[in-house]
Amino acid sequence: MRRGLQTGDAAGSLGVMITHVKFVSIPTTDQDRALAFYTEKLGFKLVTDQPFGEAQRWIELRVAASETRFVLFTMDNGPKPGSPFNGALACDNVERTYEELKAKGVEFSGPPQKQPWGTFTTFKDPDGNEFVLGSR
C-alpha cells in the first residue's frame, strides 16, 4: 500500500514530497471576534498575528499539537463566512468535549450522535461556519 505522494530518480531512491496540510483558511467578517472565539472557547494557540495588506491581518492558530494551522481571513472574493467547513476536527472524547464547549457558549446543532463509524456532532463559529467534531 502506498503512503503519501512519492517521487523517484533513475537510481530508484524515493522521497516524500508532501508531508502534511500546512493551514486551512477560515473566512470571517470580524478577525478580532473570530480570534477570541478560537483561542478562548476552542483553546487554539496564537502563532502569529501580523498585518497582511491594507485591510486585514494574517492570523495563524495552532490546533493542539497538530502541525496544521487555522488562518482567519477576510476577503472580498472567495469563500464566504457561514458555510460548512470541508473537513472534520477530531478529539479523544466527543461527549466530554461537547459538554465543555457548550458550557463555554459554543453553538452546537445537537448532542453527539453515535454511528457505526464513530461519534460526531457539529458546531458553529460566530460567523456561522459549521464544523464536524468527531472521534479519532
* CATH number (domain holding residue 52): 3.10.180.10
Beta bridge pairs of residue 122: 132
What is the model's pLDDT at position 80? Answer: 86
Q: What letter does residue 32 receive in the DSSP assignment?
A: H
Position 7: which residue type? T
- The C-alpha cell of 10 is what? 533513475
Write the Ramachandran bin of 112: left for phi over 0, alpha for psi from -120 to 50, otherwise beta. beta
What is the model's pLDDT at position 11? Answer: 47
Number of continuous H segments (helices) and E segments (strands) in the chain: 2, 11
Full residue range of the structural domain in which residue 18 is found: 6-135
Residues of the chain under the 70 pLDDT cut: 1-14
Residue 104 lies in a domain: yes
Rg (alpha carbons) of the chain, rounded to whole number: 18
37 with 126: CB under 8 angstroms?
Answer: yes
The total of structural domains in the chain comes to 1
Residue 1 lies in a domain: no
